[in-house]
């Protein structure tokens, strides 16, 4: 399931992040790619251990955990701390699949990558090209979102970033290990939760919404791995 999560960051929060990012020192992005991704990765990013990157990443995670749509879709258990990348002058990232397991930068603890996230930090009109292309069982999808919006998709998906031919594309990217490993079960829980939200808006805490909420939590209890 691909999901567009709008308004993760406000315009003011985007400006604050961009001010810090535009003054930061960038390195070759292939340094953090795996064996499969490194040959096709041509961009720049903040180093994994960058103090600026760590602080900005904390701001991104705090905003995500305030976002009910993201939480409903991802059911996050653990995050790889957000990283930041930049594409310009024809830079691109060829077709690849994200690694199934990543090590956390400080503890070295391993995390399963169930979901991949890209948070856009510039407006679509600020650059040409740079579309995120995701290939799944339903076809090929190109994504280019407003600043502050996020795209969430399964880490098992083939994807690429098209060459940026004008301007600069700046994003945050990271991975999530979900409480629910199975994508079909995650989708079922998400759709049930969103139906409950809509019913509650119409009916309030009626007998039906209370019952459905109970079913949701029983399914989550059955399927979660915590």
Strands annotated E in the chain: 3-5, 27-28, 41-42, 44-45, 76-79, 83-88, 92-96, 101-103, 110-112, 115-120, 127-129, 132-136, 139-143, 150-154, 158-161, 164-178
Per-residue pLDDT for 172 more than 80?
yes
Instruction: Return the exposure string of 53-78: e unless at least 16 CB atoms fall within 10 Å of the residue's CB, then b.
Output: beebbebbbebbeebebbebbbbbbe
- Regarding whether 204 and 155 lie in a shared domain, the answer is no
Q: Note whether 54 and 164 are same-domain residues.
A: yes
Structure tokens at 54: 């760590």
Q: What are the phi and psi torsion angles at 126 (to 5°)?
A: -75, -15
**Residues 27, 73: one domain?**
yes
Copy the structure tokens of residue 174.
């990271």
**179 pLDDT exceeds 80?**
yes
Do 60 and 124 lie in one domain? The reply is yes
Q: Does 191 have pLDDT greater than 80?
A: yes
Residue 175: per-residue pLDDT = 98
Q: What is the pLDDT confidence band of residue 33, given thresholds at 50, 70 and 90?
A: low
The answer to whether residues 196 and 170 belong to one domain is no
Separation of alpha carbons 93 and 33, rounded Å: 11
CATH of the domain at 200: 4.10.860
Q: Are residues 204 and 169 in the same domain?
A: no
In whole angstroms, give the CA distance from residue 129 to residue 176: 27
Query: Do 141 and 207 touch, CB atoms closer than 8 A?
Result: no
Residue 14: band (very low, low, confident or very high) from pLDDT cuts 50, 70, 90: very high
DSSP 155: T
How many domains does the chain fold into?
A: 2
- Answer whether residue 210 shows pLDDT above 70: yes
Report the pLDDT value the prediction gives residue 35, as an integer from 0 to 100. 59
Residue 184 has pLDDT above 80, yes or no: yes
**Does 144 share its domain with 192?**
no
pLDDT tens per residue, range 87-133: 999 999 999 999 999 999 878 899 999 999 999 999 999 999 999 99
The pLDDT of residue 189 is 98
Give the separation between CA 161 and CA 114, rounded to whole angstroms.
Answer: 20
Q: Give yes or no: residues 105 and 209 share one domain.
A: no
């Amino acid at each position: 399931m691909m999901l567009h999560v709008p308004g993760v960051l406000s315009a003011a929060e985007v400006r604050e992040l961009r001010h810090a990012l535009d003054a930061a020192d960038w390195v070759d992005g292939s340094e953090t790619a795996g064996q499969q991704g490194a040959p096709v990765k041509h961009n720049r990013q903040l180093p994994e251990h960058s103090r600026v990157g760590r602080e900005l990443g904390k701001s991104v995670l705090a905003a995500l955990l305030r976002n009910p749509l993201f939480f409903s879709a991802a059911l996050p258990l653990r995050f790889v701390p957000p990283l930041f990348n930049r594409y310009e002058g024809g830079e691109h990232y060829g077709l690849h699949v994200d690694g199934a397991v990543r090590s956390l930068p400080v503890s070295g603890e391993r995390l399963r990558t169930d979901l991949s996230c890209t948070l856009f930090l510039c407006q679509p009109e600020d650059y040409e090209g740079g579309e995120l292309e995701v290939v799944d069982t339903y076809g090929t999808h190109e994504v280019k979102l407003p600043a502050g919006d996020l795209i969430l998709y399964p880490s098992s998906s083939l994807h690429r970033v098209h060459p940026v031919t004008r301007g600069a594309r700046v994003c945050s990217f990271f991975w999530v290990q979900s409480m629910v490993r199975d994508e079909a079960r995650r989708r079922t829980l998400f759709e049930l939760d969103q139906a409950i939200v809509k019913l509650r808006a119409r009916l309030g805490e009626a007998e039906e919404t209370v019952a459905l909420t109970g079913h949701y939590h029983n399914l989550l209890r059955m399927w979660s791995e915590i």
